[in-house]
Amino acid sequence: MYNLSGSSLGDSWLLYGPEVSAGGLDRLRALGAVFLHIDLGHVAINGFLLLLIGREIERFAGTALYAAAFLAGGIGASATVLWLDWSTPTAGASGAIFALMVLLVGITRVRGGDLRAPMILILVNVVYTFIAPNVSLWGHLGGLFFGLLMVFFLVQPQPRVRWAGVLGVFVLACVLVLLV
């Protein structure tokens, strides 16, 4: 298996299908991998995007719902990787960030803002996904998909609807991880 610079924590959190399908606590890799990054550049890119996108979503939805959406997107991306790219070791918050990019588009639309910038952000990142080596295609596409599942709910004015939608997507993602 892929060794994350000799880090026992890294090796324990790396999303890797054969380990996750063993069951037990290894299923927590679907969550741990969202917070694990391969190197400093990986952390920097994801951190920068999270800073830009996250603050807008947090302002709109509040801290708790923003955190729930991040986790739902991240675990959803992990579930997608486990189902469609099972044997490739994966790590990073990129899937969660791709979900947040979709939410940013929805929030911008509801606010009546210009959709060009968030749409270009998604387009550039999708293109990067296809041209850069060692980037998780299914993690990124899974994040987009789970973001699409959440966006309708998150932009509703009723807090109950927002929470129900985001938590529903979170539960779906968790169930998909358990079924691997």
Query: SS3 of 130, please?
Result: helix
**Domain span at residue 127?**
39-84+92-178
Q: What is the pLDDT of residue 5?
A: 59
In a domain, 112, yes or no: yes
How many other CB atoms sit within 10 Å of the CB of residue 117?
11
Q: Does 119 have pLDDT greater than 70?
A: yes
In a domain, 49, yes or no: yes
pTM, to two decimals:
0.92
Give 18 or 161, the one with higher predicted confidence: 161
Helix-strand-coil split of the chain, %, nearest 5: 75, 0, 25
Confidence bin at 3 (pLDDT 50/70/90): very low
Mean pLDDT, the chain, as a whole number? Answer: 91
Percent of the chain with pLDDT over 70: 97
Q: Does 141 have pLDDT greater than 70?
A: yes
Confidence bin at 28 (pLDDT 50/70/90): confident
2-14 mean pLDDT: 70
In a domain, 116, yes or no: yes
Q: Does 7 have pLDDT greater than 80?
A: no
Q: Does 10 have pLDDT greater than 80?
A: no
How many domains is the chain partitioned into structurally?
1
139-168 mean pLDDT: 97
In a domain, 47, yes or no: yes
125 contacts 105 by C-beta, under 8 angstroms: no
User: What's the rounded Cα separation, in Å, for the pair 26 and 41?
Assistant: 27
Most confidently modeled range among 85-94, 128-137, 155-164: 155-164
Give the relative orientation of helices 94-110 and 63-84 as an angle to the nearest 10 degrees: 130
User: What's the rounded Cα separation, in Å, for the pair 51 and 79?
Assistant: 24
Residue with tokens 């779906």: 172
96-102 mean pLDDT: 97
Give 41 or 167, the one with higher predicted confidence: 167
21 contacts 87 by C-beta, under 8 angstroms: no
Give the least confident one: 10-14, 65-69, 128-132.
10-14
CA 53 → CA 17, 106, 174, distances in Å? 29, 12, 24
Q: Quick one: which of 133, 142, 140 has its CA closest to 180?
A: 142
Task: Give the max Cα distance, the chain.
Answer: 49
User: For residue 129, which amino acid is it?
Assistant: T
